[in-house]
Structure 1
Amino acid sequence: MIEVAGLSKRYGEKLAVDGLTFDVRPGIVTGFLGPNGAGKSTTMRMMLGLDRPTAGDVRIDGRHYDRLTDPLTHIGALLDAKAVHGGRSAFNHLLCLAQSNGIPRARVHEVLDTVGLTAVAKKKAKGFSLGMGQRLGIAGALLGDPRILMFDEPVNGLDPEGIHWIRTLMKSLAAQGRTVFVSSHLMSEMALTADHLVVIGQGRLLADTSMADFIRENSRSYVRIRSPQREQLLDVLHRAGITVVEAGGETLEVDGHGSEEIGELAARHRIALHELSPQQASLEEAFMQLTAESVEYHAHAGPALGDPPPTAVPPPAPRRSWGDDWKKG
């Protein structure tokens, strides 16, 4: 387990990390999210004793990192895949790490095989592609067979097969009861990998919750409907007190009511439905919603690029029968 308590870091006038408190628990993959400049990398460096906190405390299984004997056997980390001596081969790079922590030479062969680099083990790291460098960094993190693993942007430079591999690896490590802490800007990948999320913005904690709760609490859920009997459906929904918004074309959206309720209402009035689908926002949409006020670097699109917001559909006008017109005549 990683325990972070009141962690702060100041660089001159800049408060990069501001009183963070959270735990990273074993048995699950915990995602670490935040906009650029939020303080994620600084936080991870303080966890590993690479930066000294201005205030607060970090403990790795109850101890400070600098008090760990043979730290690679307690926590393995990938923070910068380029932090490798380019003149060393992949094998010799890992061998140096192993010897510094009392790890058997045979373990080097094992992790090279795990990450798929056995065929290039004797090649110098300076000739590695970005993806190969990432695999070498992951091998270094796995080298001591630690109970805690920490990855910063682990899928950078990996091809689709490599991304699937690292996703499966992290899930399997968590399933073994290990603590897995991963930072990434790829929301789609994080949504497939993480069970729990820690989200920060401008150095402050914004959320510490499960993936499902995070999306539910920071996004809009609605039901999308299409029907060839649109006007009749609108009439029925309005009479039932259900607010409808028009999403473009023939599509309608309803908030605050389940698809079962709407489907049963339509069935009672013999209204055909071509679509009745509950919609849940993505992790990316929920993240953007929560961190909108914490983004340090804003880009602005022209007004022509934005889509107009959904507009409420007014109740249909009362229907007049042929007899009503005849009476007026």
Structure 2
Amino acid sequence: MATKTDNLRGLPAFRAVPSLGPVIEVRNLSKRYGNTVAVDGLTFTVRPGRVTGFLGPNGAGKSTTMRMMLDLDRPSGGQVRIDGMRYRQLSEPLRRVGALLDAGAVHPGRSAYHHLLWLAQSNRIPKARVREVLELVGLADVARKRVRGFSLGMGQRLGIAAALLGDPPVLLFDEPVNGLDPEGVLWIRHLMKGLAAEGRTVFVSSHLMSEMALTAAHLVVIGRGRLLADTTVDDFIAAHARSYVRIRTPEPERMRDALTAAGIVVRQAADGALEANGAQASEIGELAAAHGLTVHEVSTQSATLEEAFMRLTGDTVEYRAVGGQR
């Protein structure tokens, strides 16, 4: 991976990768802990050249699935193949798969440099690569400091550096923006999209719907260990959320009659505004003018990934808060 940066934003300048990376194939994957089913017959494929978001409520089985991808947990059934092989079959695996599952899994007495150095030596990665990834993630100035003094965001950057160390074609990130400040969030977003643009296979688990909407091109969504969706972001939003035109008027009954007569489906919101489906804001504005109706607001409310996710996974939430303000 190139380490040259854009001086204006500090973002990595990526090289072009001529061939696409390997696929991750998950087939009928299951994991049981006694009578508890954590993962239940998952089947999906993660393809190169795009960021694939991995979504699900807390307890859905995302982390367990990613651990099984890396042979950290043994499946109760099914299998995972990376380029046709199990992770444990890969020689020098850090050169093939980079992963961030737990940024805190670092000896606190080691420096950032020596943590990465022993990882590099274990996979015959050149020593110079350690300095390259420290510069890439913005930790070069603290490379010799002990990890116990790192902030949450600095620890996260070190975990990302470890994932990038072997310049692998496959990358797995579990909650990569955890602890990062706004600049760091922007940086990791560009990093992941840039890695995918190089032809790498990038699989990212996150609870931040706003970030997934900006970063991922494809989604795998699970609930209670089962596959709920495997589709593009745009198709997922279109299938599970709705866009509508919001209308506020002092003449709601007349407006409703005019909309219904025009074949536009309309309903009343809790605050008294009307919500019209299947029409453009301009069309409704012209309709109101033609009927001499007064309107205070005509605005398009676009569907969001968060709304689509909540609608699809609402019945699979394991831990749900009860009550409102106190």
TM-score per shorter chain, which class? 0.7 to 0.9
> What amino acid does structure 2 have at the position aligned with 1:202?
R
Name the residue aligned to 1:13: 35
Name the residue aligned to 1:202: 224
> What amino acid does structure 2 have at the position aligned with 1:21?
T
SS in 2 for 1:113: helix
Structure 2 distance, partners of 1:53, 1:133, is: 29
Aligned partner of 1:170 among 192, 206, 209:
192
Name the residue aligned to 2:52: 30
Name the residue aligned to 1:41: 63
Larger radius of gyration: 1
CA shift for structure 1 position 241? 4.0
Unpaired runs of at least 5, structure 1: 306-329
Name the residue aligned to 1:309: none
CA shift for structure 1 position 275? 3.5
Q: Is 1:226 aligned with 2:248? A: yes
Q: Is 1:122 aligned with 2:149? A: no
1:23-79, Cα deviation, whole Å (9 max, x unpaired): 111111111011111111110000001111111111111111111111111110000
1:160-215, Cα deviation, whole Å (9 max, x unpaired): 11111111100111111111101111111111111111011111000001111111
Name the residue aligned to 1:98: 120
TM-score by length of structure 2 reads 0.88
Q: Is 1:141 aligned with 2:163? A: yes
Runs of 4+ in 1 over 6 A off after TM superposition: none
Name the residue aligned to 2:179: 157
Paired residues for 1:213-292 under 5 Å: 213-227=235-249, 232-247=254-269, 251-269=273-291, 271=293, 273-292=295-314
> What amino acid does structure 2 have at the position aligned with 1:64?
R
TM-score by length of structure 1 reads 0.87
Name whichever of 70-79 and 232-241 sits farther off. Answer: 232-241
Aligned partner of 1:185 among 188, 192, 207:
207
Name the residue aligned to 2:79: 57
SS in 1 for 2:236: helix
CA shift for structure 1 position 282? 1.9
Name whichever of 253-262 and 32-41 sits farther off. Answer: 253-262
Structure 2 distance, partners of 1:191, 1:93, is: 33
Distance 1:250 1:18, change over 3 A: closer
1:253-307, Cα deviation, whole Å (9 max, x unpaired): 11233435434433544556554333223212211111111111122225x99xx
Name the residue aligned to 1:85: 107
SS in 2 for 1:32: strand
SS in 2 for 1:7: strand
Name the residue aligned to 1:296: 318
Structure 2 distance, partners of 1:151, 1:123, is: 25
Unpaired runs of at least 5, structure 2: 1-22
Name the residue aligned to 1:327: none
